[in-house]
């Protein structure tokens, strides 16, 4: 039987526990969340009528600071998944060395074809139900899968009505006009790009003309494609759940973004429905691909930037990339990890690769608390050294201990949380 996401987290935790030689009492701190809050939220939807949705906030650990982590709207966001994601947030914040613990929220429904009004109703209902559980020094939500700055804006509005004061720091990933930070929108991608470039400079300083395939074309996927394109990488594949394009000659990500925006379908770069411009495809050395084809396509660097478990035991053996940069949370299963290790493929793990998002959330929170806002250049200037330091800490420890980057990143994060717990006298 397939492992649950939380079982997968525990497998990674076990490895870190053995690397660090932690006692049972110490490691038990990270085996279960501190708080699991489950609620049914009732909404009166315009299209689907009256609905009761399962909603969760899991507060995993706050030894290093207030709970922090996104809220996802997804039909698979059940308690097990949200628990695993909350745990990973705690480790991620520790890896980035920012003063937060870890949490995650979720509402279990499919928002894909829902109207803006209905999404707003769910967002308001969530903020209402969890207003007592979150707080600027307690638990700070943010966007995650299928939530965005508009959802954060509605949640903030509802929260501020309840507490009857302005409290922008209670939630991050907000629109700029409501106290969002410049540079937050593309920070996940920008952070990943800093880490990738540092990795390349460390192992192949002279390497040029590297090819990149990106799976998922939402915020993280489209932004990393644009950033790496400007940095001189060749983007050879982009796709999302509706499919996409592979082109050995390279794809212009700006054009892909425009097509996605206008047609909501990346294959429209070459096709109208089932009719494709074969001449143009041939001229560009391009072909239409399915989302899952990106994982096994010909490229140097593979970037899963969508959902979890995209690289699994059945396709890992066919991965051709030499490096995987995990912008999504949990895109590689533990079985796939083993297969990729055998093949000598380096994985830059999610808790390092996508930590730019929560790091920029930290900047947003500090700006909200100070009431003084930074320029985009300042945000970049502060993000880069945090990402490079996280990479360097992990790289050095991985070489010293001769273990993969994921195991090292986990060990580093767990170590920092346990040290904070020891200082508190809790173990
Ligand atoms: N959802 C993002 C993540 O998984 C960002 C979390 C945050 O900014 O708090 O890292």
- The residues annotated with a catalytic role in the active site are 104
- Largest Cα span, the chain: 69
- The confidence score (pLDDT) of residue 20 equals 97
Three-state secondary structure call for residue 72? strand
Same domain flag for 162 and 211: no
- With a 6 Å cutoff on the Cβ, whether 358 touches ligand 1 is yes
Beta bridge partners of 52: 42
How much distance in Å is there from the Cα of 69 to the middle of ligand 1?
5
Same domain flag for 86 and 222: no
Helices and strands in the chain: count of H runs, count of E runs: 15, 14
CA pair distance 153, 176, nearest whole angstrom: 10
How much distance in Å is there from the Cα of 205 to the middle of ligand 1?
31
Q: Which domain holds residue 51?
A: 33-167
Q: Is residue 115 assigned to a domain?
A: yes
Q: Is residue 44 assigned to a domain?
A: yes
Q: Is it the case that residue 47 has pLDDT exceeding 90? A: no
Q: Work out whether strand 301-304 and strand 211-215 pair parallel, antiparallel, or are unpaired.
A: parallel
Q: Is it the case that residue 205 has pLDDT exceeding 90? A: no
What is each CA distance from 234 to 212, 242, 252, 268, in whole angstroms?
6, 22, 9, 20
Average pLDDT score over residue span 383-402? 97
Q: What is the CATH number of the domain that holds 303?
A: 3.40.50.720
CA pair distance 373, 368, nearest whole angstrom: 8
Residue 92 CA, closest ligand 1 atom number: 10
Q: Is residue 25 assigned to a domain?
A: no
CA pair distance 281, 171, nearest whole angstrom: 45
Q: What is the DSSP letter of 266?
A: G
Residue 173 CA, closest ligand 1 atom number: 8
CA pair distance 16, 91, nearest whole angstrom: 11
Beta bridge partners of 59: 35, 103
Contact at 8 Å (CB) between 212 and 300? yes
Q: Which of 60, 72, 10, 65 is nearest to 35 (CA)?
A: 60
Average pLDDT, the chain: 96
Nearest CA to ligand 1 atom 7: 358
Same domain flag for 260 and 290: yes
Residue 355 CA, closest ligand 1 atom number: 10
pLDDT digits (tens, 9 = 90+) for 133-170: 999 999 999 999 999 999 999 999 999 999 999 999 99
For the beta sheet containing 323-325, the strands, ordered from the edge strand earlier in sequence to the opposite edge, are: 286-289, 243-247, 234-240, 211-215, 301-304, 323-325, 346-348
Confidence of residue 419 (pLDDT cuts 50, 70, 90): very high
Q: Which residue among 89, 351, 362 is best mutated to probe the pocket of ligand 1, counting the most ligand atoms within 8 A of its Cβ? A: 89
- With a 6 Å cutoff on the Cβ, whether 329 touches ligand 1 is yes
pLDDT digits (tens, 9 = 90+) for 300-323: 999 999 989 999 999 999 999 999
- The confidence score (pLDDT) of residue 165 equals 98
- The confidence score (pLDDT) of residue 204 equals 84
Last residue of a domain, one of 111, 132, 167: 167
Three-state secondary structure call for residue 122? helix
- With a 6 Å cutoff on the Cβ, whether 330 touches ligand 1 is no
CA pair distance 325, 212, nearest whole angstrom: 10
How much distance in Å is there from the Cα of 398 to the middle of ligand 1?
25
Q: Which residue among 189, 361, 364 is best mutated to probe the pocket of ligand 1, counting the most ligand atoms within 8 A of its Cβ? A: 361
Distance, C-alpha 165 to centroid of its chain: 31
CA pair distance 217, 286, nearest whole angstrom: 18
Contact at 8 Å (CB) between 140 and 127? no
Query: How many domains does the chain fold into?
Result: 2
- With a 6 Å cutoff on the Cβ, whether 172 touches ligand 1 is yes
- With a 6 Å cutoff on the Cβ, whether 149 touches ligand 1 is no
Q: Is residue 129 assigned to a domain?
A: yes
Same domain flag for 65 and 198: no
- With a 6 Å cutoff on the Cβ, whether 379 touches ligand 1 is no
- With a 6 Å cutoff on the Cβ, whether 332 touches ligand 1 is no
Same domain flag for 97 and 203: no
- With a 6 Å cutoff on the Cβ, whether 8 touches ligand 1 is no
- With a 6 Å cutoff on the Cβ, whether 70 touches ligand 1 is yes
Q: Which of 389, 390, 358, 384 is nearest to 181 (CA)?
A: 358
Q: Is it the case that residue 329 has pLDDT exceeding 80? A: yes
Helices (H), 47-179: 79-96, 116-130, 149-163
How much distance in Å is there from the Cα of 77 to the middle of ligand 1?
15
Q: Which of 73, 76, 67, 40 is nearest to 55 (CA)?
A: 40
Which CB contacts under 8 angstroms, 24+ apart, belong to 171-178? Answer: 171/134, 171/140, 171/141, 171/142, 172/140, 172/141, 172/142, 172/360, 172/361, 172/362, 172/364, 172/365, 173/70, 173/142, 173/143, 173/148, 173/149, 173/361, 173/364, 174/149, 174/364, 175/149, 175/150, 178/153
pLDDT digits (tens, 9 = 90+) for 335-373: 999 999 999 999 999 999 999 999 999 999 999 999 999
Last residue of a domain, one of 344, 367, 392: 344
């Amino acid at each position: 039987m397939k492992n649950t996401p939380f079982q997968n987290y525990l497998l990674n935790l076990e490895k870190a526990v053995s690397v660090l030689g932690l006692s049972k009492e110490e490691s038990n701190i990270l085996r279960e969340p501190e708080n699991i809050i489950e609620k049914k939220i009732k909404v009166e939807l315009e299209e689907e009528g009256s609905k009761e949705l399962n909603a969760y906030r899991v507060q995993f650990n706050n030894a290093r600071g207030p709970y922090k982590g996104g809220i996802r709207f997804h039909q698979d966001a059940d308690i097990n998944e949200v628990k695993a994601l909350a745990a990973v947030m705690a480790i991620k914040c520790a890896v980035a060395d920012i003063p937060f613990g870890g949490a995650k929220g979720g509402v279990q429904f499919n928002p894909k074809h829902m109207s803006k009004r209905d999404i707003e109703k769910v967002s308001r209902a969530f903020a209402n139900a969890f207003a007592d559980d979150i707080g600027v020094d307690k638990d700070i939500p943010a966007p995650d899968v299928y939530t965005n700055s508009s959802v954060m804006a509605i949640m903030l509005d509802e929260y501020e009505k309840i507490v009857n004061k302005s409290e922008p720091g209670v939630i991050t990933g907000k629109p700029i006009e409501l106290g969002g930070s410049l540079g937050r929108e593309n920070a996940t991608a920008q952070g990943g790009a800093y880490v990738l470039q540092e990795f390349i400079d460390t192992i192949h300083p002279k390497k040029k003309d590297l090819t990149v395939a990106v799976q998922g074309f939402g915020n993280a996927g489209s932004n990393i494609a644009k950033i790496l394109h400007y940095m001189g990488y060749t983007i050879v594949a982009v796709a999302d759940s509706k499919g996409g394009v592979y082109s050995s000659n390279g794809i212009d990500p700006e054009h892909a973004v425009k097509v996605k925006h206008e047609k909501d379908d990346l294959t429209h770069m070459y096709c109208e429905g089932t009719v494709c411009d074969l001449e143009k495809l041939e001229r560009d050395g391009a072909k239409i691909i399915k989302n899952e084809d990106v994982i096994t396509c010909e490229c140097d660097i593979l970037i899963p930037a969508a959902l979890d478990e995209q690289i699994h035991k059945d396709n890992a053996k066919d991965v051709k990339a030499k490096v995987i940069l995990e912008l999504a949370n949990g895109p590689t299963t533990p079985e796939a990890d083993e297969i990729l290790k055998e093949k000598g493929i380096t994985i830059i793990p999610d808790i390092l690769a996508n930590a730019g998002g929560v790091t920029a959330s930290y900047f947003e929170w500090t700006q909200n608390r100070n009431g003084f806002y930074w320029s985009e250049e300042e945000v970049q200037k502060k993000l880069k050294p945090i990402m490079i330091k996280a990479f360097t800490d992990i790289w050095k420890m991985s070489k010293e201990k001769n273990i993969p980057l994921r195991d090292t990143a986990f060990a580093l994060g767990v170590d920092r949380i346990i040290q904070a717990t020891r200082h508190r006298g809790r173990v």
